[in-house]
Amino acid sequence: MFGCTTKKEKKFTEEEINIIPKPVFTELHKGSFSFNGNTKLVASTKNEQKLLASFSQKFKQVSGVKLAVVASAPSSNFLQFKIVDSLPYEGYNLVINSNHITVSAKTYSGFVYGLETIKQLLPASIESANFVQKEWVVPAIEIKDNPRFKWRGLMLDVSRHFFEVDYIKKTLDRMAMLKMNTFHWHLVDDQGWRIEIKKYPKLTSVGGYRVNQEDKGWNARPNAPLGTKATYGGFYTQEQIKEVVAYAKERGITVVPEIEMPAHVSSAIAAYPEFSCLGEQIMVPSGGVWPITDIYCAGKEETFTFLEDVLTEVMELFPSKYIHIGGDEATKTNWKTCTHCTSRLQTEDLANVDELQSYFIKRIERFISSKNRVLIGWDEILEGGLAPGATVMSWRGVKGGLEASAEGHNVVMTPGTHCYFDHYQGNQDQEPLAFGGYTPLSKVYEFNPVVDKMTPEQEKHVLGGQANLWAEYIPTEQQSEYMIFPRLAAMSEALWTPTTHKNWANFSGRVKELFKRYDVMGVNYAKSAYQVTT
């Protein structure tokens, strides 16, 4: 006999359904389903069986009960995955009755999300790493769900401060829980180069380390004297990168690497000064590089050979369709006087240094598209003319997104006003030092990547949106968690849920329930974000 048929069924109410992001369609039915030692997990393909096996492992940890993964369904008491090709990409349908659970989906991600929804229907203690005595019951329900946007991103800057692989994995778990599917990994910046490149070992042995842990952002220029011992930093080996990419894939997440150019690269120039205009030795700065004048030389052919070599290794590690090349905040003072750059201006018939940046990015774009990938960059890549196949990440407001989409380019919207998680989220007097700005939970929740001024044609070019955590003021993983959560929950609903289903008061209630889960998981979320805005 099964537990579910012998015990009195638990009654669920609407208030107990607290899924984030809110599904497109939810209908609560009478009855419930109980997991017990006889419950079978059913899937026909290897990948999906693997996904169920990791659910089974997690379930065993907390319940002490092992659920067997099998290839075909018994007559009752099972959770099954069913491939249904007519469902939307990344979408899923979930039907729970007292006899069994069915998750239908077209793609692997749909199954990931169906399972995440089931976890959110289970008691918060399902997230515990230790045994909990509990009945593992979910309500009878029907859910039909699919995302509004296909790019639901989080960017993490690991240059300004370095975060270990384990933390990256934890972050990926927490993204999957919220059905976020793009991890934009900001691996290069002035204050540290974080990805092993076999052909240029000094990028990490020199570029990966700086003198001080503290990075004071734009408020200081603590460039250490040459020769000072650099001890703070770190980098990811290619093996670690592969591990992270595979870990993300299992969770339906694509990892988009960002290799900055032509600016935000003091770390690379400290390692290989020959790729700058001046060729002078510099130190990896501990912060405060502003304006950013130590940039790659756009006149030397060697710069492009170097970058193509780097990108070749990067593309071998990251299967992502999109390769982010930064492109932001280049101060082109050196380009104006550099003999290589000025002769490039002449030979290429370029009017000014903005056009030289455009030449630079277009060249890189040709290389990336020759490898069947798509270049994505910050909205400065519009200056001097956008490369033909480029996608634009609009951060200086929505302007860049409007302009690029009008030109027929795809865009990811990430305006500072709503998407910058390095901003304060509560009363500044009570918050840890942050970059500045004020982006509380409610503001993130309001975010809509589609802007009023867009035509339907432009709208089609909006891939989605993204939260960005710049890490100048984030020295620890705990503080990173604090800045990301719960704001990422608001971002996830802004990118997943149809606007007609969004409701701030209702969301705030569900966030309270999410906090219970975060407590069990040990996430250092910001309670302040919630208090200030409700």
**283: phi then psi, degrees, rounded to nearest 5:** -100, 155
Residues 284, 191 contacting (CB under 8 angstroms): yes
How buried is 214 (Cβ within 10 angstroms: 0-12 exposed, 13-18 middle, 19+ buried)? Answer: middle
Site string for ligand TNX, 64-103 (x = CB under 6 A): ----------------------------------------
482 near ligand TNX (CB under 6 A): no
Which listed residue (135, 243, 329, 355) is catalytic? 329
Which structure tokens are listed for 251?
Answer: 């969770």
Residues 51, 118 contacting (CB under 8 angstroms): no
User: Is the Cα torsion angle 348, 353, 354, 356 positive or negative in sign?
Assistant: positive
Site string for ligand TNX, 338-377 (x = CB under 6 A): ----------------------------------------
Rounded CA gap, 384 and 368, in Å?
19
By beta-carbon proximity to ligand TNX, the closer residue of 111 and 378 is: 378
Which residue number places its CB atom closest to ligand TNX?
A: 470
By beta-carbon proximity to ligand TNX, the closer residue of 328 and 355 is: 328
By beta-carbon proximity to ligand TNX, the closer residue of 18 and 468 is: 468
CB of 96 to ligand TNX, least distance (A): 43
Q: Binding to ligand TNX (CB under 6 A): which residues in 418-477? A: 420, 422, 435, 470, 472
My answer on whether omega of the bond before 486 falls inside 30° of 0, hence cis, is: yes
Q: Binding to ligand TNX (CB under 6 A): which residues in 270-329? A: 328-329
Is 329 a catalytic site residue? yes
My answer on whether omega of the bond before 74 falls inside 30° of 0, hence cis, is: no
CB of 404 to ligand TNX, least distance (A): 15
Helical segments of 212-352, H only = 238-250, 266-271, 301-317, 333-337, 339-347
Quick one: which of 282, 175, 271 has its CA closest to 221?
282
By beta-carbon proximity to ligand TNX, the closer residue of 90 and 260 is: 260
CB of 160 to ligand TNX, least distance (A): 7
By beta-carbon proximity to ligand TNX, the closer residue of 422 and 481 is: 422
CB of 472 to ligand TNX, least distance (A): 6
- Contact with ligand TNX (CB under 6 A) among 378, 421, 482, 515: 378
Rounded CA gap, 268 and 491, in Å?
33
Q: Strand 78-83 and strand 40-42: pairing?
A: parallel
Q: Binding to ligand TNX (CB under 6 A): which residues in 388-407? A: 395
Rounded CA gap, 278 and 336, in Å?
12
By beta-carbon proximity to ligand TNX, the closer residue of 116 and 157 is: 157
Residues whose CB is less than 8 angstroms from the CB of residue 270 and which lie 6 or more positions away in sequence, other chains included: 206, 207, 281, 282, 283, 284
How many residues at the interface with ligand TNX, by CB under 6 A?
A: 9
Beta-bridged to residue 92, according to DSSP, are 105, 145
**Residues tagged active-site:** 329
Question: Binding residues for ligand TNX, per CB under 6 A?
Answer: 328-329, 378, 395, 420, 422, 435, 470, 472
